Amino acid sequence: MRDVAIVGVGQSRFGRRNDVNLQELAWEAVREALSDAKLSQKDIQYSVVSNMGLWSAEELPAVVVNEYCGLTPVGSHRVEAACASGSAGVVSAYNMVASGAVDIAMVIGVEKMNESPTDAVVELIGRAGYYLWEFENFGLTFPGYYALHMSAYMSQYGATEEDFCRAAIKAHHYGSLNPKAQFRSEITMEQCLSSKYVAWPIKLYDSSPITDGAAALILAGGEIAGKITDTPVWIRSIGYATGTANLSKRLDFTGLDAARRAADAALRRVGLERRNVGGHFDVAEVHDCFTIAEVMAYEDLGIAERGTGVQLLREGQTYKGGLIPVNLDGGLKAKGHPIGATGVSMIAGLTDQLLQRVQPRERQADIRRGWALAHNVGGTGHYAYVTLLSLSREGGPQ
């Protein structure tokens, strides 16, 4: 298996993108990634499109996107793993390059969620749970699922709604600085606490939005990456796991077992255990579809001990300058959550962070170790991916 590096990244502007169709939105990210790598379409040997697409008019998005972006007759396929589709796409392209099947591959994550009305999107996302039992019989939607997590966490560890609002306030702070974010305004504690309940105790400001957006990565193998760029960012490890679809089979609602197992696998490959993780990485992106999801991510990754994730928020330890800056792009909560693009966007953003080219500089983490971490969850913990990036091709985090 060859080493694999990221040699180009691109992202569209996130939000309600009624100005473009699906393929035009994808092209915004693809064009930027090709420009970043100084490559053309003819250099791409394989393309993976990550897209959930239940709400979109295109039933064959990989074909449509590749044709519009000038990537035919390049080989391609579509990947879906709910909200972790983007990371699943990265794994697929990574394996194509690492195996030697191709030298250069592209991952394109894209979603046009606003092609359907809000109530239809809420229903369709709800179907990504255990459909016949939980959705049809009990009407669970995704806010309802994560409300179970938040209420369990509050009951077991004494956390408050104010604690979770601190995650939302942080997300909107960094989203306000991100020119491509869906929400570019700060919020206050009072605004968060007074926002309407979606599924108690989850409020509107605890929730990520319905988003259109696209992101793209170009991956290259071994020495080829060094010929394309002087600053490759190496994919050093990817851990992945799946969890039960049926919530009645889960014994713990204060974390996600699949995320813990994915983190264990990823960290083990670079010589780390799932404890004191924050001290080994310069910056992280975690899956904050709801504020409780960010807190659980801290603990599932080993950044914080069980039941202490809210303390990181109280102390500001996940802001720039803290123990480990988290979601300096605004995260899913403020940057937006175009499901098929989210995992790709996380890794694109971390690549920019490691290369210290984020603008404005208020969003740029201090890069001292040269390591970054991405955590992407699909469904209600059905899928989990943890991806570790490094400026170095060898050695482990210190």
Structural tokens at position 219: 């991956």
Question: Could you tell me which residues come within 8 angstroms of residue 131 by beta carbon, excluding any fewer than 6 positions away?
Answer: none
Q: Single out the catalytic residue among 149, 173, 337, 375.
A: 337
The single-letter DSSP state of residue 207 is: B
CA-CA distance, 285 to 270, in Å (whole number)?
18
| CB-based contacts of 151, cutoff 8 Å, min separation 6 | 200, 201
Terminal alpha carbon distance of the chain: 25
Sheet holding 75-79, edge to edge: 75-79, 46-50, 104-112, 212-221, 4-11, 233-242, 383-390, 371-378, 283-285
Percent helix / strand / coil, the chain, rounded to 5:
40, 20, 40
Cβ neighbours of residue 181 closer than 8 Å, sequence gap 6 or more: 14, 15, 175, 329, 330, 334, 335, 336
CA atoms within 13 A on the CB side of 2: 21
Token representation of residue 309: 């994730």
Interatomic CA distance for residues 215 and 329, integer angstroms:
14
Q: Give the number of other Cβ atoms within 10 Å of residue 104's Cβ.
A: 22
Closest C-alpha among 287, 253, 314, 302 to residue 375: 287
Instruction: Give the CA distances from residue 169 to residues 180, 183, 188, 299, 314, in Å, rounded to whole numbers and listed in that order.
Output: 18, 12, 6, 20, 12
Please give the full DSSP string across 370-390, using - where no structure is assigned: -EEEEEEEETTTTEEEEEEEE
Specify the amino acid at residue 211. Answer: T
DSSP 310: H
Instruction: Give yes or no: 83 in active site.
Output: yes
- Tokens representing residue 391 in the block: 């400026």
Whether 173 sits among the annotated catalytic residues: the reply is no
Instruction: Choose the catalytic residue: 83, 165, 192, 289.
Output: 83
Q: Which residues participate in catalysis according to the annotation?
A: 83, 337
